[in-house]
Amino acid sequence: MNNTLNIFGMLVVATFLFHAALNYMTDNIVDFETVALPPKRTETAAVGNPTVRVNATSRDVWTLLDFATGKTYSIQDPEKEKARLNEIQWDLGFQRTKIIANGGETNSQGTVGVVNLGKVDFDEVKEAPETGYLADTNAWGKLSNPSLSNWYLYRTRTHNIESQKNVYVARMSDQSYVKFRILNYYCNQNESDCATALCPRDEAACITIEYVRQPNGERVFPVPVARETVAAKPDLD
């Protein structure tokens, strides 16, 4: 009898611990892909290129970015607010780790496409590709851009996010081109600071993007002459 009670007690405790661990994981990886990081690499950001930081901290609102002006706009649901998507000028949309573009299944009237060039030297990308630009898709009710869907790696031990530092080129809504890469996911800390320690959740999803824009519709990118930090200007409407 005592053995039966002991076994029953152990099962109750094990069940409680299992559910506690499961709830913790659910709360921490709701937005994240469970892809383990490779060995840490040290990378140096290019000097002389402008950057923009996008506030993508909301789980309920999308932040839409227009590279040409640096302005951002807020939208609740891209699928239900199609008219709003065409009232404003925007190129990419951000919500936590998710990124969409102004085209394809997200907005059939948009023309933005993105190509992933991989882990190449940012400043060595002198010209936008002629082809290879992918529009958004809708899989299982989730909008995404195939070129951007795996832009980050998830650190399983600390539940933190680290950009893969891929270089992307986008053909924007005004038919100009921009090359960009995501440098950092955290608001007041560097990703390297979060590599071995759990960074607070309220530090996540202030996305810093390095970019170079070709405003004339040509595919050859200009050479930047000075470092510039641009604070994305929110929509005041």
Binned at pLDDT 50, 70 and 90, residue 234 comes out as low
The dihedrals phi and psi of 31, each to the nearest 5 degrees, come to -100, -5
Residues 46-101 pLDDT 10s: 447 999 999 999 999 999 999 999 999 999 999 888 889 989 999 999 999 999 99
**DSSP state, 127?**
B
Given this model, what pLDDT does residue 5 score? 55
Inter-residue contact 163 to 151 (CB < 8 Å): yes
Inter-residue contact 194 to 160 (CB < 8 Å): yes
Residues 181-216 pLDDT 10s: 999 998 887 777 776 677 777 778 899 999 999 988
Of 161 and 223, the one with more pLDDT: 161
Whether the pLDDT of residue 12 is over 80: the answer is no
Distance in angstroms (rounded) separating the CA atoms of residues 17 and 7: 15
**Taken in order 11, 15, 17, 18, is the CA torsion positive or negative?**
positive
Closest CA to 101 of 184, 180, 170, 174: 170
Quote the tokens at residue 205: 């999803």
| pTM for this model (two decimals) | 0.74
Edge-first strand order for the sheet with 98-101 is 98-101, 92-95, 62-65, 71-75, 233-234
